[in-house]
Amino acid sequence: MDGLRDLQQAFLGHLLGEGSPIAGAIESTAGASAAERLGIYATGYRLRLKEAMETDYPRLHAYLGDTLFDRLADTYIHRYRSHGTSLRGYSRHMGELLDELPPFSGLPVLGEIERIERAFNHSFDAADRPLPGPALLERIPPAAWPDMRPVLHPSVTLLPLRYNSFAIWRALADETQPPEPTEAPAIWLIWRRDLVSRYRALPAHEAEALNAIRNGEPFGAVCEHLLQHFAPEAVPREAVQLLQSWLIEQVIATLDWEATPPS
């Protein structure tokens, strides 16, 4: 091997369990052979990766138990390399693996628990935004309301679930016996308010309105969605009440009307 880069690549290959000539560049000592010294680093590296996954998915770990979670983590480490200098986000492919790898792929509730935990991780890590509060509504010119675009806070996730995965997640968080998986379709809102992650199930009209906002639709289009749930004369009141509550709850970061092109 020539040079530092070759040594680094060979050492990485050893850590990842690939064929590597690095042992020839390591000296044995009286206390440990070159293979033993390298083994310490390889074991430590894999343990740090597992710790990162356990930190990201504590409820999934609790639900699976140590043996199955270790099997899942070992497969993940083998399949997905760590390419960054930080372990935050290393386990972002966990959902893909749960969908593909038997026996986990036969239990779709596992994927939903993973998505819940990933959404909470995102709510914690997401960037801050200035939060003007509901007083912002008073500044919108009347003519700007139809084309005004509410902007979701970066921490927001809209999470459709098919099963009672949130009930299972809550039981795991409380260290109580989780219920058996059953179908319980719902859309959940997960976000950060006042530096604390929050969550709640959404009624159908609110979920549809927030989904429209996530897709970049203007306030006029959001009101059209609400026509599926309320009488026409009630829609303006319901829409404004939703905006007020979202601004108070910090679900909406701002309302963009000044940048809206004229119709």
Q: How many domains in the chain?
A: 1
Flag whether 148 is in a domain: yes
Task: Decide which of 58 and 24 is more confident.
Answer: 58
Q: pLDDT tens across 34-65, in order?
A: 666 766 666 677 888 899 999 999 999 999 99
Flag whether 43 is in a domain: no
pLDDT at 78: 85
Flag whether 25 is in a domain: no
Flag whether 158 is in a domain: yes
Question: Which of 94, 255, 126 is closest to 190 using CA atoms?
Answer: 126
Flag whether 174 is in a domain: yes
Flag whether 203 is in a domain: yes
Flag whether 114 is in a domain: no
> Could you give the residue ranges of the DSSP H alpha helices within the chain?
3-15, 34-56, 58-64, 66-79, 94-100, 108-125, 165-173, 204-214, 219-226, 235-249
pLDDT at 260: 43
Sheet holding 157-163, edge to edge: 157-163, 183-193, 196-201
Flag whether 82 is in a domain: no
Q: pLDDT tens across 207-251, in order?
A: 999 999 999 999 999 999 999 999 999 999 999 999 999 999 999
Contact (Cβ atoms closer than 8 angstroms) between residue 53 and residue 78? no
CATH number of the domain encompassing residue 211: 3.90.930.50
Contact (Cβ atoms closer than 8 angstroms) between residue 101 and residue 75? yes
Boundaries of domain holding 206? 127-263
